[in-house]
Every structure is written in structure tokens, then in C-alpha cells.
Amino acid sequence: MLALLTENGPCHVGPDLSTEINPYSWTNEANVVWLEQPTNVGFSYGPNPKDADDNEDNVAENIYWFVQGFLERHPELQGREFFISGESYGGHYVPAAAHFISQQNQHKPTGVLAINLQGISIGNGCTNPVIQNPHFIDMATNAYNISFVDPSELPKLKAEAEICGQMMEACQSQPWLCWDAEGYCQDNLESVFMAAKRNPYDIRQPCATSDTDVIQCIAKDIELITPYLNSPNLREFFHVDERVGDWQMCNFDVNQAFAKSFDVMMSTSAFVADLLNNQVRVLIYAGDADLECNWSGNLAWLQALEWNGSASFNATKAHDLVVDDEPVGSVISFDELTFVRVFNAGHMVPQDQPAVALDMINNFYQNQEL
């Protein structure tokens, strides 16, 4: 709902809880469904409140069956080109769901509809923490001249980043090591950057918070949409089930379930490689003022990805992303894979650079060069 009402949806919520048209809505170019998931977040629910999703296998299968049900109810949309988009932890959800759909399409089980999966897009995603977490260090040098650490501390931090990556790698095959890996990376790397009291979602802004409570740095958005979504008229309009309580930005029970399953620490980049090898197009974009899932870490995991076009992608030089005759980012693209660094944008690119985001996603949908 955050993306729907503050980023790329057809309308935004104002301070007086009225809505205004968003001229840069992605619905200008496509039919869009905003899906609240995993089960039990927001207005979503399941038959058993205690049977919540806690890993990508759950998420992928539930999204697949949601799409099946949606297409059955809307036969006019069957066979249309289908894309999955996400942001932030969507870097886990999107590859897992798309991979499950791709596998089902290949196996062609009886009694289900083929989903015409064409591509996925992920904005400032957390996809491969093994590679991305150590790349916190890269943001010590950034386009906005924000100072995070004293230059004399960089050699020590680089050593800590290397150890962080090694521990994260070990936990992929030995999940019981994940708690220690996460704790080490947070204590010795991420907390150093958080001490600068900058908004980790947009380093251009100050935000004094801890590394365990970073959601407070987008409090203004939450404060706008929470009362709007909990108004009786809207709940009735959305046909919200009576079993569902008030809409909240975060469900910490679901959060803890994913943490206990170590899902947060696992990489989903192998799904992306399989998708690329099956000619599913992939767009990874990142606002370069984001610290949490920064552009450098996103590019790094793409460059480490093993797929049929990896050598050619890694040999491709970046070129300018131009919108309205202005350079607004940089692009690396080969075959099905495209990476975009978006200038002057944080974690939520469609909010910070709405015209750029719309132009970019429309070209991607149309399979046009960026």
C-alpha cells in the first residue's frame, strides 16, 4: 500500500486525507495490481492466522495461486504480457515468485492457466545479502559528499566488510551461522554508517535513529496513509474482511517468522540467473542516495551472477539514461539484463524521480532500449 499511495499508484494521499491524481502513475502504461503480501501483512489474511508465510517458497506459491485466481476472474487478461515488480525486500519476493511461475509454465500442469511471464523489475532490492551487505563500505564515498566515516577508519572497515561477506557466505549452506553473521555485519559495518544520523533510505536527509528502527525515517509517509487506510469508508470500499484488524505498516510477527527461518540472510540471485537463461527480461534499478540496498551492492551482485550473458554484461560500458534531454542516471544493459543507477533518488525511486521511473518502466515493458 505504501507504493500504491505514495509512489507509483494512480493517486496519492494528501495531509487532509484527500486524494490527488498522480500524473506519473504506472497505470498510465499498464494494468497494475498492487498485492499486499506475505499473508497477514496489511489487509491480507489466510484461513489460519498462525499459518503465516515465513520463507520464499511460501511466498512464491501463494503469489502463483493468487495470479491464477485473478486471471480466472478476469479472462480478458489471460495471455497478456505479465511482469512482476517490487522494491526493497521485493528483491527476495520477486525473483522467487517469478521463478516459481516460470517453472510451472515449463511443467505445464493440467487445470491451470499459463502465465505469460515476460519480465521482472526490482527497485533498490535486497536480493543477495552475501554480496550486498559488505558493499555498505562503498557508500563512504558517494555522489552527495555525505561523510559517514573518517578516511583513516576505511582500511579497518574494509577488513570488517570482507569478514562480513565471508560469514554471510558460510551461512548460506549452514543456516545456524546466520545469526552470528547478521550480528557481525550490523555491529561492525552497518552501525558505523548509522552513527552518522542520516536517513538510510535517503542519505541526503538527516534521520537520527538506530539500525533496528530505520522505518522511522519514512514516518511521514506512514503517518499519511495509515489513517486513510483505516477509515471505515475505505475499508468498506476495499471489502476488507471483518477478521482483519487495523492496517499497519509492519507486521512484526511476520517479520520475526522470516527472521527465524533465516530467509532475510539468504540470496535469491540464483533465481534471477535461471530467469535470464529462460529469456525472462530483468530490470534492476537503484536510486544512488539509498544506503540500505545501495546501487553499488546491486550492481556488484549482478556482476557476480552466473548466466549465459554474464561475460558480455560485465564487458558492457555504462551509458547515460536520458529523460527529457537530461541525463538522469546511467545504464548497463546486455540482452535480457538491464541495470540502472538513478541519480538524485533514494530507496523509493518512483517517489523521488516519478517521471524518470515512469519513462524507465514503460521502455522496459515495451522492450525498448534505455
- pLDDT, one tens digit per residue, over 313-368 is 999 999 999 999 999 999 999 999 999 999 999 999 999 999 999 999 999 999 99
Letter for the amino acid at 199?
A: N
- Let me know: does 127 contact 98? Beta carbons within 8 Å: no
Q: Under 8 Å CB-to-CB from 114, ≥6 apart: which residues? A: 79, 105, 108
Domain boundaries, the chain: 2-128+220-365
Domain 2-128+220-365 has CATH 3.40.50.1820: yes
Q: Closest Cα partner for 267 from 347, 348, 334, 181?
A: 181
pLDDT digit string (tens) for 180-233?
999 999 999 999 998 999 999 999 999 876 555 667 777 677 788 999 999 999
Average pLDDT over residues 5-13: 94
52/46 Cα distance (integer angstroms): 8
- What is the DSSP secondary-structure string of 9-62? SSEEE-TTS-EEE-TT-GGGTS-------STTSTT---SSTT----SHHHHHHH
167/182 Cα distance (integer angstroms): 8
Write out the catalytic residue numbers.
88, 290, 347
Tell me the whole-structure pTM to 2 decimals. 0.95
Q: Closest Cα partner for 297 from 168, 120, 113, 111?
A: 168
- What is the DSSP secondary-structure string of 114-144? PP-EEEEEEES----HHHHGGGGGGGGS-TT
344/12 Cα distance (integer angstroms): 21
